[in-house]
Chain A
Amino acid sequence: MNDVVWVDTTGMSFDNAVRHKLGRLIDVSGATADLTEGMRVALKINTAEEGYNYGLRPEFIRTVADAAAAATQTRPVVCDGLKLIDYWKQARGNIFMKLTNLQGFSSETLGGHFVINGGFSGDEGDLFPCNLSDSELGGVEVGTAVCRSDALWVLSHVTLHPLVGLNGALLNGGFDCLVGRARTRLLKSLNPYIFNGQKPPLPDLRAFQRRALESHLGVKAAVEGNIFFINYLWDVTPQPEFYPFSENPVVENKGFLASSDPVAIDSASLDIIQDEGYMQVEAVGGVDFATVLQEAEQMGIGSQKYHLKRLS
């Protein structure tokens, strides 16, 4: 059973605003314990497609980036990969940078150098093994900003997800860290956009989820296990960032979580979102995330059981 620290949204005050809460989250969760001077930390974030208007505020990332910079005395790298599908605008390096800039994400606002994970083409990466005896993929190509770093912090904007159920530590710290062509390979022609209620068949969906979880192990191998997760339960929209629009959030803002266990933090996130009968992720998103968590645990990625430490 692993620790998950949760800083909720109660007790906001002059000395307990969001940035104070995030600072305390980092302190209490021991995020910087394994960092030493000179280590290159990559912060993997979710950048939004044009039209998606619930992206995380730059300050939420900057507070975390400042903590990483203070621990390493080195400016961290803030990164995200190009969006996969050429329907919209983020599939090309220069336009990706322009759009993220328009959303207020820049090296100045984020507190770290903002780069594309996978370079201009999105395909710059190295191959790492999934370290699983019955692996379907064998290995995955992880983007260079992630795999050339000494440590990875996965900062996930928690939203519903049409293929996995929930966008969180497992997806953002796995599939989303891969180069573009590897993600295309994992999708196997599965359309990540759901139009007019048309969804992929369940067996295809399950097979993809399995591959996405395998890729998480590949990413972990790429950074030699130096990986930490922060989940932002803030503006939890039905669509993830790669959609060119967003509907209203499905729950009120619940705060921020941190853990070194991706399964534990995503389990806790799911439980908090579904707490008090606000909503059932499966009912809204149409995909059963609990099954994904079970499979992740079976694959040894982490534990569904967690010890929640709640702070105000």
Chain B
Amino acid sequence: MVEHKHEPTKWHEMKAPIIGGRDTYQSKSWNPTKKKWGVYTQKGPAPVWFAEANATNWTESMICKTKDLFYEAKLNECFEKGDEVAIKIHYGEWNRTSVLRPEYIAAIVEEVKACGAHPYVVNDTTLSYHTYNSMAISQYQMEGAIRHGYTDATFGCPVLIADGYAGEDDYRVDIPEGLILKETYIGRAIAEADAMIVIAHARGHSITMYGGVTKQLGIGCQSKRGKYITHLAHWGDPHDAIGWPKFTDKCPGKACKFHKMCDDSCPRQAHHVTEHGKVWYPERCRLCYSCQVTCLFSGMTGIGFEENYFPNAMIAHADAALGALKCFDRGKVGLINCAIDISPECDCFPWAGLAVAPDVGIFASKDLMALEEATLHAIDNAPVTPGSVAAEKGCKPGDDRFRIVNGFSPRITMAAGEKIGLGTRKYKLINYEPPMTPENIAKWQIRRGGEANQKPVTVRLRDVFQKHDLATEVMPFGRTAYEKEWAFNEWKKYDPFKGETPK
């Protein structure tokens, strides 16, 4: 271990809080709460539909079951024929492998279209988060989305950035009910939609501990300034550090091999290293996490988070989720959690840790908190993946998994959410088992509608083979003088069971 010399971080004290032009700019909500908005479930338990991961036949395909749940949970009733329906997903960071497969999103898009509405897929830009982030710039985010297979061609509908080219195309929404936040900013492609279906990749999260549908609503729907607010930027005195990174006075300065990366990490040049420490300008900071992520994930300890930061941010993101929901009338938001590839961190990370549990399945509901509780409960009770960070930390089935993996219990968010009207934490889980019938097998296969399209592919191939059959033309295939010894005996030498039929 190298011994470093540390100088205390030099502070440039703020003279006063930063005051922009908010007295004259968007002082009132641009997007008044929808008159018909309201808590979805007044009293629990709320129903949550669940289809387990795994499949052994056509009807149990995860895609088919996702489509089934869409109708079982009556998400098709969230919108009317002709409505513009935003499909909110996470586009995923460059080099991230643990993102939802495009088929899950395409499945829902297909059904929204089949119901006569007009879907479009959206995600907002992010803040910097880390030095080599791709999602903060809309053009780069789209390049990443295309790399993940999220395109107009794969979904069959437009794929958009919800908060515009620069992340500033948004509506201000008042949230007087919020426990910490009293306002948020929502991307306009979301705020202007008639209805929304949120398809969340349920997995861990380094700030909110767990990221499912609430995270999609509380950070994912927010424009850049909406994200700054949810991050609690400039909240409290800079020395309390809730709304700022925490500089620990342990920065070794230029002796740190990551010091250039650290200097480059801030898009606002709020800090730079000196020979043995750091200079810090809190007035320039907007709390984007870039410096903290650079320092923490490179194994250094110079910049971190204040002790109570995470629970506060968790409560704030529940407040912000309420702001997103209030852009819609009651019952106009359908929610799906896909507990698949349950990695420990968010899809905005440019890597993916080993899943902390095997795939659990798909959850659907219209009640946000019920859905989240059901998902968390199922993940908590799932086996622990050997070799994952959950196993390394000694997690057992039944433990609060994301508390052990990431530090705090996601129930903090759920309790805050229930208090402000996001839903009820009491849920009734309805296990969905697809019926194994010829009709149900045929239901979600390629080419639906019309008489000809309903025919199985095998039947349609009869027409093809009657006209053209190149396989038959070259028959008999050239194997008449085959190696009989290999076909009957030789291969058994390489089978430990000598060719016995498995029991």
Contact = CB atoms under 8 A, between A and B. Distances in A.
Interface of A: 40, 75, 77, 79, 92-95, 97-98, 101, 106-107, 113, 115-121, 123-124, 143-145, 148
Given A94-B120, A101-B158, A106-B152, A119 B139 contact: no
A115 B118 contact: no
B84 interface: yes
Contacts of B143: 75, 113
Contacts of A92: 84, 192
Interface in B250-296: none
Contacts of A98: 120, 157-158
* Interface of B, helix, strand, loop or mixed by DSSP: mixed
Nearest to A117: B165
Interface in B72-90: 84
Closest 10 A-B residue pairs measured CB to CB? Answer: A119-B164, A119-B169, A124-B169, A94-B120, A124-B164, A120-B189, A97-B158, A144-B166, A144-B165, A121-B188
Interface centre among B152, B168, B169 (most CB of A within 10 A): B169
B139 A113 contact: yes
Contacts of B146: 107
Contacts of B160: 93-94, 97, 120
Given A124-B166, A148-B165, 11 more contacts: A93-B120, A94-B84, A94-B158, A113-B139, A115-B139, A115-B142, A116-B164, A120-B187, A121-B169, A121-B188, A144-B169
Contacts of B347: none
Interface string B165-207: 1101100000000000000000111001000000000000000
B316 to A, nearest CB: 25
Contact of B189 (A93, A107, A123, A143): A93
A235 B192 CA distance: 36
A79 B157 CA distance: 19
Interface centre among A92, A97, A115, A119 (most CB of B within 10 A): A119
Interface size class of B (residues with CB under 8 A): 20 to 34
A120 B84 contact: no
Nearest to B190: A120
B208 interface: no
B214 interface: no
Given A106-B152, A120-B187, A120-B188, A115 B158 contact: no
Nearest to B171: A121
B138 interface: yes
Contacts of B152: 97, 101, 106
Contact of B163 (A77, A97, A119, A148): A119
Nearest to A143: B165
23 contacts: A75-B143, A93-B120, A93-B160, A97-B120, A98-B157, A101-B158, A107-B146, A115-B165, A116-B165, A117-B165, A118-B164, A118-B165, A118-B169, A119-B164, A119-B166, A119-B189, A120-B169, A120-B187, A120-B192, A124-B169, A143-B165, A144-B164, A144-B169
Contact of A115 (B120, B138, B168): B138
B162 interface: yes
A97 to B, nearest CB: 4
A174 B157 CA distance: 31
A121 B170 CA distance: 9
Contacts of B158: 93-94, 97-98, 101
A289 to B, nearest CB: 31
Contacts of A95: 118
A145 to B, nearest CB: 5
B84 A124 contact: no
A143 B159 CA distance: 20
A106 B157 CA distance: 12
A77 B142 CA distance: 11
B188 A119 contact: yes
A272 B162 CA distance: 43
A55 B194 CA distance: 31
A143 B160 CA distance: 17
A111 to B, nearest CB: 13
Contacts of A106: 152
Contacts of B165: 77, 79, 115-119, 124, 143-145, 148
A117 B138 CA distance: 12
Given A94-B84, A101-B158, A120 B164 contact: yes
B169 A94 contact: no
Contacts of B159: 97
Contact of A94 (B118, B139, B166): B118
A152 to B, nearest CB: 14
B84 A123 contact: no
Contacts of A119: 161, 163-166, 168-169, 188-189
A170 B189 CA distance: 31
Contacts of A145: 165
A77 B158 CA distance: 17
A124 B168 contact: yes
A97 B119 CA distance: 12
B113 to A, nearest CB: 12
Interface centre among A40, A92, A98, A124 (most CB of B within 10 A): A124
Given A101-B152, A115-B138, A121 B192 contact: yes
A107 B166 contact: no
Contacts of A97: 120, 152, 158-160
Contacts of B164: 116, 118-121, 124, 144
Interface centre among B158, B159, B188 (most CB of A within 10 A): B158
Contacts of A77: 139, 165
A42 B161 CA distance: 17
Contacts of B162: 120
A42 B90 CA distance: 26
A311 to B, nearest CB: 33
A117 B118 CA distance: 22
Nearest to A106: B152
A123 B169 contact: yes
Nearest to B120: A94
A52 B158 CA distance: 21
B123 to A, nearest CB: 12
Contacts of B163: 119-120, 124
A40 B118 CA distance: 33
A72 to B, nearest CB: 13
A144 B152 CA distance: 23
A214 to B, nearest CB: 24
A297 to B, nearest CB: 33
A46 B159 CA distance: 20
B82 to A, nearest CB: 12
B153 to A, nearest CB: 8
B290 to A, nearest CB: 19
Nearest to A98: B158
Interface in B125-158: 138-139, 142-143, 146, 152, 157-158
B342 to A, nearest CB: 31
A75 B159 CA distance: 18
Interface in B374-423: none
Interface centre among B84, B164, B165 (most CB of A within 10 A): B165
A94 B157 CA distance: 9
Interface in B452-503: none
